[in-house]
Structure 1
Amino acid sequence: MSEAPRFPGLPSKPIIDLMVGVPSLAEARERCIKSIEALGYNYIPEYAAWLPGELFFRKGPPGPWTHHLHVMEPSNPRWETLLVFRDYLRAHPEAARAYADIKQALAASSREDIAAYRNGKTRFVEETTAKARAWRADPSGR
């Protein structure tokens, strides 16, 4: 299981994001949903269109949720994308600060429009993820 990034001073929603890797999403779909729901998580099947290759759950009272749980196979390209982005921000405080500035500006301008907030981060996240992949391939920067 991997947690989303934790960075002192990086603003975020008060939601804990968790990723759980499973060997087979089909098997997890058959065997795990009821068990995870028994832990207080709500399975949100309609998110499959937005997050293909994942099972998505929420925990807590509706608005505000306290936890998001993403269940996927580690072979899902999103697994690597999320982890390399996290690792890069941890290793590059200037990138984490830039991300914080973008998130704060978007939070102020988009208020309750989560799609606008999410879409507003897309360019930064994509560009930073590309830098992160290059950094992971050669952490010395050569």
Structure 2
Amino acid sequence: MRFAFSVDDLPPPSGFDLGHMVVTGNLGSYSSRGRTPDQAMMIHVSVSLLLDGLRSLVEASRGGHAFGAADSSFSLKFSLTKDGTITTRAPGTPVDRSDVRAVVTAVWAAAKEFADVQLPLLPADDAGRQDLEMSLAGFAPLVARPG
């Protein structure tokens, strides 16, 4: 499974910039780019929401999470079964079926890569930056868990 996040807005950068998300899995791929209506999202806030929602799902050890991007109609549904498998679906599109570790690792890698590039461009007091920093800190223990 793979996630990719990108920023589309022009300078000056803001934690509320619009951008896109692409999710690619073993069953298909889904992107916010090129859709009607436009599904660009406040990308920093959306990555934060994705991390927080998946963290809650994994900590619960079963159930579901409906992710809705910030200021966009882009959405994903995650279902976690007792056997530790997460199924990821986009509207009408199966995207992935993988174990928890694979999903946690994939979203962490993409979020960390995005943050490493984008967060230094934002002022320290930017609300979008602060939200994403807190979400990364909250998600990090999941990555460190033995798998």
**TM over 0.5, shorter chain:** no
TM-score by length of 2: 0.27
Give the structure with the higher percent strand: 2
TM-score by length of 1: 0.27
